[in-house]
Structure 1
């Protein structure tokens, strides 16, 4: 069992409790979180999650822990295709899709890690060093290589090694050996190594500038080189003394995990310094801990109550039949919800040229049918048509192409719409209902970029403007929203309000929407428009209660 493996680790994580919950048939993970987050000896809670039985209760206790200031660090396994199959075979009733778990963790301020080592190192940093209040980091090494390793990985994960102030740099120049270069991370060089009278003033001076966390890279010698260890410990004690005066989260980190012996680790823990093993693991722990602090503060500011996930009342366990409706019907639903769609009309084949002329060229013509979910693949769409003659040719070509693609998909119904101007950006918006997580919204790069870019974020519903704004900012295409390379800046407020209208509309049982995908949603400077939509509505068989 993983729980047994963790207790045998050589990491000096100060365990208060180790609990294996098995298949959670009697007591669930949520029950233990509920109790443990109130215990004064518990500084953080680590979870190995295969699945969660009740998302609503889990969200309640996770937010309770957050309110109590007890971080939760989660290792969720079963995210790969094979891993998911193994999880299903072990605890079939518990597994859920990975993007929804990710959305859940982000919503609740839960730190997610990818492996057991990172789980232990993150918990160790939180429990021993505490929670940093930001991403400003000061680094100390007695090696140019160590300083480079720190700087390289910190940049990748958004930690900030800010330069020493002019006043600090001037003082450091006087204190350091002439071979040293004033920088952050700082290589204080071997000529003063192990000499407390030289090293302590350097460390104290370096830490006078405002930082949120401090890290000192130091690898300790093996037993056969024990005679040099006092010099290492001298510098470690200087770091302990200097960092204790500024009261920021601090860690001493070995480059290689095995290069920190147990006695050293225990000494550091006793002095409130996290003994971290591995540079990347240490920096990841600091980064995610700082993320936790920011997320916790924003949740408190915007209201914990808004993020509670309530059970899907009224959702029948059985008897739901979902039906894919055509684009015309879907767009009528969107208009009822309050979203804009292109000007258009539905027409029989003979009426298409006349309607195109009535709308005004250029137009878009689409064959409409329930078996035409992906019109581009079937050849069931023609763009930028400029005349009645082109309309007739396009309709004839469509019939032939769809016949070749799928004879059962051929339809005599066509949607004629005004061809829209090129937008500032295109977004894919999907809202779906999951029996375990409830409703979720996925935002991604839309149009032709959907399959080219891995650019998506999922949030759980209900949500609010703040959460939506943050979700949009996390997308790579969000640069387009800000006027990328001279483009128009969009009105983010209008986009957010359109997404809120959509989310509220889908949650309204009157519409009976099971899933909706808009791709693309055209985004302009002052408006948005749903250009294409796939929509499934639910029909509940006799005897079942109303569904949402």
Structure 2
């Protein structure tokens, strides 16, 4: 169900229920921010709250409120919500805690949350255990505390699942215009994705920043991404939980390299949501997106008046998807005319300090750099601290940069390598000049990399394959797993199972050597001495098999001419779907950490692109004159695994092929594992 949150987030009238300091703060903050609508406190015993006249009950209000901040205890909250629903109110923020998020402590939290949902019916409710929302565009604050923002005509929206982090983010002093700061609380009724869609619906919002602890409803999150794509508004996320990968409990390699963090990354990549790994990176990325939008590419022109800064820029960009295109001949000529014969011309450029204060020469230098095949320029300028120094001598940099940006029509950032070297007042001057203020070299490059990633064209993604909840999944034997996968088109070696000494001897005599002998029932056969190769001679093969810690074996044909070994794994990730992991297989899986993850379903094109990202791709392509692997056969094997997963999604836990032996002619699953529950 999609609820209309417009009255709640963009109200003409606000009611505040309760009389504590939190409720008084809501009233005071609305007045302080110049909210033009009505603010109606409600309290049974007080004549005023926060300096505004109060009425004793909701029924005494002069009208039906668009938005309501409920700051009373959890039991009274439920009764209040029911009254508001019956009145036709536009929605409510539930500040009280003690609902499902506190079930372990209170014992009745889940029951109270169910009662809250019943009381709300179709009326939107955000929270409980929620600070609420700040609308800086209209000065409407359903917010029970201090904040650091100011009114704006347009800006970015930031949505978090942590109220305290939301407060901290309002305190940024980076020159980032904020349109909304909102919190989701425990999302009893209205989830993160639904709130995000409502914020994007405001034409004055330019981009959306998310701090995500858990995605929640996958279909709702897909709808959020669709809304962002349709509106042309980029979304950047900071996803908590990178350490979950180390906590994944499973018996296979796949779970140890896939985990929930890989699932989150794969989901965000799939939906076109950019991911950053720090709050400062989030803020700088949102700032660049607000002022310049997604970039058409990752090509950067870097300018500084210091060789050390030029080197630092190049070094900091190492390992990032950022390039510094070499200068063209016409740029050389233009720069030489502006800078003379003593400057070494390159990108990044050290233009030296002798042209400082020569605004005309500086402007021509900056413009010449921007005239090349670049998507954004970066002028490194660390301003002196205004409390002890005079920054007036740096005005020439702003003036020249603004001229160059206007002349070329390309975005130009004034980048301070140290965040404290770009005070907020200067950041506002820079934006007024049509430039982008970026604070901190590493975060600035994160912003550029993010904006370039968001600017790339992407196809509309297919809906994520939703996982089930398999009851008590069990591990199939290798033979059972291979038979199940073969039924969906995965190539497997010809094999015979042997149980007991006599059956083993018969199987070996009947086999066409060479063969591989495998012990059954071992999770990691190679490490446990459960694999032997029989190339000639039955007696030697018998001795090797009988030395294994088992009573039954698989006798398989040997796959020769291997170009490389790969891992194909799929893990059920309840929060994100089925995570497909492709990586180096065999003994290299844990040794190299060479893997990449996607969410099912995937296309042949996506599989091929993922294989190309692996370091082992050089082997697949034919390394040092050796034959290449049959890439199409590998892709077909992955698609066959996907077909099996789709057919068994409601009760499947995990699939792994390791190794998939890749030859010039085929790709064969030499070992397989499946964990699956019974069909319900």
Same fold (TM over 0.5): yes
CA distance in 2, matches of 1:82, 1:467: 23
Q: Secondary structure at the match of 2:642?
A: helix
From 318, 325, 331, give the equivalent of 1:162. 325
* Partner residue in 2 for 1:89: none
Deviations 1:323-367 (A, max 9, x none): 211111111112111111112211233233443343322211112
* Partner residue in 1 for 2:607: 468
Shift, 1:512, TM fit: 6.1
| 1:88-487 mapped onto 2 (5 Å cutoff) | 97-223=260-386, 226-227=389-390, 229-294=391-456, 297-299=457-459, 304=460, 306-309=461-464, 311-312=466-467, 315=468, 320-348=471-499, 349-369=501-521, 372-398=522-548, 402=549, 410-411=550-551, 413-487=552-626
The number of aligned residues is 506
Shift, 1:424, TM fit: 1.1
Contact 2:564-2:662 within 8 A present in 1 as well: yes
Shift, 1:459, TM fit: 1.2
Shift, 1:211, TM fit: 0.9
* Partner residue in 2 for 1:93: none
Shift, 1:385, TM fit: 4.0
Mean CA deviation greater in 378-387 or 518-527: 378-387
Contact 2:166-2:183 within 8 A present in 1 as well: yes
From 626, 633, 647, give the equivalent of 1:494. 633
Shift, 1:148, TM fit: 0.8
CA distance in 1, matches of 2:230, 2:534: 55
Residues 292, 385 of structure 1: alpha-carbon distance in 2 compared, 3 angstrom cutoff: same
Mean CA deviation greater in 431-440 or 98-107: 431-440
Q: Secondary structure at the match of 1:126?
A: helix
* Partner residue in 2 for 1:73: 236
1:523 to 2:673 alignment: no
Q: Secondary structure at the match of 1:204?
A: helix
Shift, 1:79, TM fit: 2.1
Q: Secondary structure at the match of 2:598?
A: strand
Deviations 1:297-326 (A, max 9, x none): 122xxxx1x4323655xx4x5x72322111
CA distance in 1, matches of 2:271, 2:406: 32
Q: Secondary structure at the match of 1:43?
A: strand
The normalised TM-score by structure 2 is 0.71
From 211, 226, 230, give the equivalent of 1:63. 226
CA RMSD of aligned residues (A): 2.2
Contact 1:340-1:528 within 8 A present in 2 as well: yes
CA distance in 2, matches of 1:522, 1:184: 45
Shift, 1:438, TM fit: 2.8
Shift, 1:116, TM fit: 1.0
Contact 2:466-2:649 within 8 A present in 1 as well: no
Residues 512, 40 of structure 1: alpha-carbon distance in 2 compared, 3 angstrom cutoff: closer
Shift, 1:378, TM fit: 3.0
Contact 2:565-2:662 within 8 A present in 1 as well: yes
Residues 83, 376 of structure 1: alpha-carbon distance in 2 compared, 3 angstrom cutoff: closer
Between 1 and 2, higher relative CO (CA 8 Å, sep ≥ 6) is seen in 1
Structure 1 residue runs of 5 or longer lacking an equivalent are 86-95, 403-409
Contact 1:129-1:272 within 8 A present in 2 as well: no
Residues 237, 375 of structure 1: alpha-carbon distance in 2 compared, 3 angstrom cutoff: same
* Partner residue in 2 for 1:538: 677
Shift, 1:517, TM fit: 0.7
Contact 2:355-2:361 within 8 A present in 1 as well: yes
CA distance in 1, matches of 2:399, 2:284: 22
Residues 503, 73 of structure 1: alpha-carbon distance in 2 compared, 3 angstrom cutoff: same
Contact 2:214-2:575 within 8 A present in 1 as well: no
CA distance in 2, matches of 1:186, 1:32: 44
* Partner residue in 2 for 1:88: none
Contact 2:244-2:260 within 8 A present in 1 as well: no
The normalised TM-score by structure 1 is 0.87
Shift, 1:169, TM fit: 0.6
Shift, 1:178, TM fit: 3.2
Contact 1:325-1:535 within 8 A present in 2 as well: yes
Shift, 1:513, TM fit: 4.5
Residues 328, 310 of structure 1: alpha-carbon distance in 2 compared, 3 angstrom cutoff: closer
Q: Secondary structure at the match of 1:156?
A: coil
Structure 2 residue runs of 5 or longer lacking an equivalent are 1-163, 249-258
CA distance in 1, matches of 2:495, 2:346: 63
Q: Which has the higher helix share?
A: 1
Contact 1:129-1:251 within 8 A present in 2 as well: no
Q: Secondary structure at the match of 2:201?
A: coil
* Partner residue in 2 for 1:90: none
